């Protein structure tokens, strides 16, 4: 059985662009799974991003995280 490949989207705060990339990628990809992280800490995902994704039937992650919270070795593409 093939293991799903993983991609990590990174932006500065993990509050907008990388969150949208993760949600959109996961809605379209069949053999890949996406996650996201930021270079710097932030306290919340942008509410506009949550609303825009919800309008498309997608869900934004609940909490931003930094790359320090991620094991980069788990990803096939960063």
pLDDT in tens, 17-51: 999 999 999 999 999 999 999 999 999 999 999 99
Q: Is the pLDDT of residue 3 over 90?
A: no
Q: Is the pLDDT of residue 63 over 60?
A: yes
pTM summary value: 0.92
CATH 3.40.50.20 fits 5-68, yes or no: no
Q: Pick left, alpha or beta for residue 16 (phi over 0 → left; psi -120 to 50 → alpha; otherwise beta).
A: alpha
What is the pLDDT of the chain when averaged over all its residues? 96
Detail the DSSP E strand segments found in 1-78: 5-11, 32-38
Q: What pLDDT is stored for residue 64 in this prediction?
A: 97
Residue bearing tokens 């919800």: 54
Domain boundaries along the sequence of the chain: 5-68
Asked if residue 38 lies in contact with residue 13, where contact means CB atoms within 8 angstroms, the answer is: yes
Say what angle helices 17-28 and 47-55 make with each other, to 10 degrees: 20
């Amino acid at each position: 059985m093939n293991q799903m490949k993983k991609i990590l989207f990174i932006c500065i705060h993990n509050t907008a662009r990388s969150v949208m990339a993760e949600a959109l990628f996961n809605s379209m990809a069949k053999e890949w799974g996406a996650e996201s992280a930021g270079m710097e800490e932030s306290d919340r995902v942008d509410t506009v991003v949550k609303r825009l994704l919800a309008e498309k039937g997608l869900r934004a992650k609940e909490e931003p995280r930094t790359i320090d919270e991620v094991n980069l070795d788990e990803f096939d593409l960063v």
